[in-house]
Structure 1
Amino acid sequence: MMAEAGHPTFTRTEHCSASLVRRVAAMLDLPMEAFRDGASLPRGWHFILMGADTPRASLRADGFPGLGAPLPDLGLPRLLQGGRSVVYHYEIPIGATVTRTSGVSEITEKTSASGRKAVVKVAHSLRVADNVDPAITETQTYLLLPAQSAQKETIPAELAAVSASHMRVVTPDETLLFQYSALGFNSHKIHIDRNYARDVEGFPDLVVNGGLTTLFLTEFARRQLSLNLSGFTMKNLAPLFCNRPMTIAADRIGSQWSLKAHDDSGRVAAEMETKVNEL
């Protein structure tokens, strides 16, 4: 994995401990007996290995720690996750030692009628112990934006109907947002500080973590659809908010699946295109 010129890679050792994995199971209200040393880490749960150990003095003003690689200071104070692409190469056993390498891989600055913004991509590689090949490769896309104080929420004239072959409704609350943020050591204030989300960023409420929405979709694929994902591409199209119902919808398209997260008005807020291993 290559970092962009002038942006080094950072390598750290993580331990995929059973106790940490069981905390994810507890957050999801799943039985914990199966999550023991030697069992495979469920696909989608590797976010627990992606947290940064950024000192408080080095956090961005919005509290975001960087998830393994510092983001550039471009004078753009707001940050949103635009999406991610993930490839699963082989299983990570619970209890394994994992080496993670992270680095900024691309920076694109743009100016439009709405102002200046930047798209920053951060590439990650996770490999087990002394294996030279990665178990998981992931590229995360972040949007860096100018300051915003006005409410960004728009209310549609009418609710959109959600229709799909498989659906489920979930309502992320403050406790779930806190637990997910704590498991990933993500201190971004839009997820944990309601006053900051409203008064500084202009959101109507706490914003659901983009990674948590991703987890909802990968868990739906794993548990409801019994899919063995080999990879996926995730796009976050609009923010989702705390204490509002989210509808997860999935349809099969050929040999693959398309999964979407709809907000409480029925609009598509996130979409995932999967790649599936045949069982």
Structure 2
Amino acid sequence: MAHTIRRLYSSIPIPSSPSAPSIASQFFAKAHSQPPSTQSQLLDANQLQRLSATLSRTQLSRSLPENGTPLPPCYHLAYFTPSQVEEELGRDGTDTTFNPPRPFTRRMWAGGELEWPVPGKGVLGLRVGQQVTETTKLVSAVGKRTGAGEEMVVVGVEKEYNNSEGVALIDRRNWIFRPEITEPQAPAARPAEVPLPSGPHTRDFTQTPVSLFRFSALTFNAHKIHYDRAWCREVEGHRDLVVHGPLNLINIVDFWRDVRGGNASPKKITYRATRPLYAGERYRIVMGDEKDGVTEARIVDCYGGVGMLGRIESF
């Protein structure tokens, strides 16, 4: 595997009274002046089999998938993992390759969109056994405020995946960076439970510490909110381990494929994470019927909160 990876914030000066817009502007100017980063990887069968086992997708987990097996939509998220040594990670364990400068270092996955090329143009999708190159570039960095008035920086990156036939996938991701925690936060109280909503198609989940650990291991994600309960409760103020945003996205798309038929392939997916979902707590994917080639989906927890919104466009 070849890597070209940079720490994009190391030489950016921090103002004496840093604000989100000024830091975002300086960060973007510095990062945008540098060439995209690239890494190449063989899409090996072992990773696909183990991800399928983690997701309880038995068809691909019973035996090692053969070369040429299509990678299900969004399963690329378990490949092209970060490669920083531990000393370069953030205090919370996150990869810092695209971090803005301090104090905006506390990262959360906010959402994004994925696009696949139109079939029939000679480009096959990602498949086991292919050598694929991921090219990543920073496309935006914007200072904003939350509804509660807290400053944050929203960073957008675009990842392009090329196989021997050309561009197989474009993945645009947005991350929110909030100020680092200087004082431990008290864990949030658990709300009162309410009935899960109904809908045309539903699927229920309760993630466990084991499922979150396995997904973190496969994606080489050392973010402590996914495996360190003490960090969650005693530092960041979460009431339990946080379910990965990419894991929720994959589960939405897998459910869509099961409703449409296992070989269904999306044209475009747009999604947005709206609030944390936690291990040990029930939540439900509620999916509507397809209308004009578009399927709407949402994840609702057992307290009535919406954790993720998704929109899937079919070819």
**TM-score normalised by the chain length of structure 2:** 0.80
CA contact (8 A) 2:45 2:64 kept: no
- Offset of 1:233 from its aligned partner? 0.6
The residue that corresponds to 2:104 in the other structure is: 76
Q: Return the letter of the residue paired with 2:273.
A: N
Correspondence 1:45-84 to 2 at 5 A: 45-66=75-96, 69-84=97-112
The residue that corresponds to 1:128 in the other structure is: 163
When structure 1 is superposed on structure 2, of 94-103 and 48-57 the one drifting more is: 48-57
Q: Return the letter of the residue paired with 1:91.
A: G
* Distance in structure 2 (CA, Å) of the matches to 1:158 and 1:63: 32
Q: Return the letter of the residue paired with 1:234.
A: Y
Q: Say if 1:97 and 1:195 are closer, same or farther in 2 by CA, change over 3 A.
A: same
The alignment partner of 2:104 has SS state of coil
Match 2:46 to one of 4, 9, 19: 19
For the pair shown, the structure with the greater C-alpha radius of gyration is 2
Once the two structures are superposed, residues 202-236 of structure 1 have per-residue CA deviations (whole angstroms, 9 ceiling, x without a partner) of 10001000111111101111123324211201100
The alignment partner of 2:289 has SS state of strand
Correspondence 1:1-279 to 2 at 5 A: 5-7=29-31, 8=34, 9-29=36-56, 30-31=58-59, 32=61, 33=63, 35-66=65-96, 69-89=97-117, 90-111=124-145, 114-129=149-164, 131=165, 133-148=166-181, 149-151=184-186, 153=188, 159=194, 161-226=196-261, 227-255=264-292, 256-277=294-315
* Distance in structure 2 (CA, Å) of the matches to 1:247 and 1:158: 13
RMSD: 2.1
Q: Say if 1:157 and 1:230 are closer, same or farther in 2 by CA, change over 3 A.
A: same
- Offset of 1:44 from its aligned partner? 1.6
Aligned residue pairs: how many?
Answer: 271
Once the two structures are superposed, residues 85-141 of structure 1 have per-residue CA deviations (whole angstroms, 9 ceiling, x without a partner) of 111224111110110011221100124653221101111111114x4x321111111
* Distance in structure 1 (CA, Å) of the matches to 2:41 and 2:302: 37
* Distance in structure 1 (CA, Å) of the matches to 2:259 and 2:205: 14
- Offset of 1:10 from its aligned partner? 0.9
When structure 1 is superposed on structure 2, of 186-195 and 70-79 the one drifting more is: 70-79
- Offset of 1:159 from its aligned partner? 2.2
| Structure 1 unaligned blocks of 5 or more | none
Q: Say if 1:263 and 1:151 are closer, same or farther in 2 by CA, change over 3 A.
A: farther
Once the two structures are superposed, residues 54-105 of structure 1 have per-residue CA deviations (whole angstroms, 9 ceiling, x without a partner) of 1111111111115xx4322241232111112111224111110110011221
CA contact (8 A) 1:205 1:241 kept: yes
CA contact (8 A) 1:234 1:270 kept: yes
Q: Say if 1:203 and 1:275 are closer, same or farther in 2 by CA, change over 3 A.
A: same
| Structure 2 unaligned blocks of 5 or more | 1-7, 9-27, 118-123
* Distance in structure 2 (CA, Å) of the matches to 1:198 and 1:77: 19
* Distance in structure 2 (CA, Å) of the matches to 1:43 and 1:115: 35
* Distance in structure 1 (CA, Å) of the matches to 2:190 and 2:209: 23
- Offset of 1:192 from its aligned partner? 1.2
Q: Say if 1:259 and 1:34 are closer, same or farther in 2 by CA, change over 3 A.
A: farther
Q: Return the letter of the residue paired with 1:93.
A: R
CA contact (8 A) 1:260 1:271 kept: yes
* Distance in structure 2 (CA, Å) of the matches to 1:194 and 1:158: 22
Q: Return the letter of the residue paired with 1:197.
A: C
Q: Identity over the aligned pairs, expressed in percent?
A: 24
* Distance in structure 2 (CA, Å) of the matches to 1:250 and 1:35: 29
Q: Say if 1:152 and 1:107 are closer, same or farther in 2 by CA, change over 3 A.
A: farther
